[in-house]
Amino acid sequence: MSSLHRFFIKPEQIEGSLVTFGQPQVHQIRNVLRMRPGEKVIVLDNSGWEYVVELREMDRDEVKGEVVEKRLNSSEPRTKVTLYQALLKGEHFEFVLQKGTELGVVSFVPLISERCIVGDVDYVEKRRERWERIVAEAAEQSGRGKLPRIEEPVLFAKACRDLKLRGSFAVMPWEGEKKLSLKEALERGSKPFSVSILVGPEGGFSEREAEMARRYGIITVSLGPRILRAETAGIVASAIILYELGDMRP
Ligand code: SAH
């Protein structure tokens, strides 16, 4: 992979071989990176392709470039990890979005569970724009070929029902699980192509939630005898899954 700067853009910003950048990318290209016409960047339109673009005209509000090469991005993991992360206070949810994106999570679902401290309907909508920017920056910096999605928040019970309906392979790291490790859960049955992970809030999941999850076929797993912070647990579980299923190889 080259070290050219990467930018996710909307598909309509590419017309034929002409690419038009608007703000805030113009600011980034001209003022932050101080790039000049003739220099190259990589542009992604979320299709799985990436385009090497040579910068041409640059003014204060618009930068134009020309596609000089089109190639398939090869950094998306084969295993599709969806992280149902209970809403967290302060910057912790943002940490999960950023690090999860670097690791290769394809979809984040804000989960509202019994012991969530934050969780009014507005909470996510007020932060969506900021969260999407965090995900985009992390995706650009880490060389992702597609932007992870941030779904609408769901209540715990609905998440359980949705996962059951879709027949998804789902695990729930729960500190009350004393027998089964995440590794063992992954080794049960055939190798899954997609895995959903449910991680609790600061105060954890309740016993009742763990029972409900099990009734819906979600496997409760242990991440070991040490209690991880909620924001650590989601990242660690994502990394273990991608590693065990062979998605952390060159
Ligand atoms: N209930 C705890 C801490 C919750 S940790 C307390 O306050 O004492 C937050 C979340 O991280 C949990 O809901 C769980 O999903 C996950 N988690 C943290 N450490 C874990 C471990 N050792 N095994 C399984 N899950 C863990």
Q: How does pLDDT run across 28-45, given as a tens digit for each residue? A: 999 999 999 999 999 999
Residue 120's pLDDT band (cuts 50, 70, 90): confident
Interatomic CA distance for residues 247 and 245, integer angstroms: 6
Q: Which atom of ligand 1 is nearest to the CA of 203?
A: 7
Which amino acid belongs to residue 102? E
Residue 71: per-residue pLDDT:
96
Q: Is 234 in the pocket of ligand 1 (CB under 6 A)?
A: no
Q: Could you give the CA distance from residue 8 to residue 145 in angstroms, rounded to a whole number?
A: 9
- Could you report the per-residue pLDDT of 143-188, keeping only the tens digit for each? 999 999 999 999 999 999 999 999 999 999 999 999 999 999 999 9
8 Å CB contact between 89 and 119: no
Q: Which domains does the chain have, with CATH numbers?
A: 6-72 (2.40.240.20), 80-244 (3.40.1280.10)
175: CA distance to ligand 1 center in Å?
Answer: 5
Verify whether ligand 1 is closer than 6 Å to residue 176 (CB atom): no
- How many angstroms is it from 206 CA to the middle of ligand 1? 11
pLDDT on residue 224: 97
pLDDT of residue 1: 46
190 vs 119, which has greater pLDDT? Answer: 190
**What separation in angstroms does the CA of 66 have from each of 42, 56, 63, 71, 246?**
11, 7, 10, 14, 36
Residue 83 Cβ < 6 Å to ligand 1:
no
Q: What percent of the chain has pLDDT over 90?
A: 94
| pLDDT value at 3 more than 90 | no
Give the confidence band of 189 by pLDDT, cuts at 50, 70, 90. confident
Whether the predicted pLDDT of 119 surpasses 80: no
Regarding the beta carbon of 180 and ligand 1, being less than 6 Å apart is answered no
| 111: confidence class by pLDDT, cuts 50, 70, 90 | very high
Report which protein residue has its CA nearest ligand 1's atom 11: 230
pTM: 0.95
Mean pLDDT value across the chain: 96
Q: Under 8 Å CB-to-CB from 25, ≥6 apart: which residues?
A: 7, 9, 63
Per-residue pLDDT, 69: 98
Among protein residues, the one whose CA lies closest to atom 6 of ligand 1: 203
Whether the per-residue pLDDT at 97 is higher than 50: the answer is yes
| 162: Cα separation from own chain's centroid | 19
Asked whether 173 lines ligand 1 (CB < 6 A), one says: yes
Tell which atom from ligand 1 comes closest to the C-alpha of 172. Answer: 15
pLDDT higher than 50, residue 6 = yes
pLDDT, position 122: 87
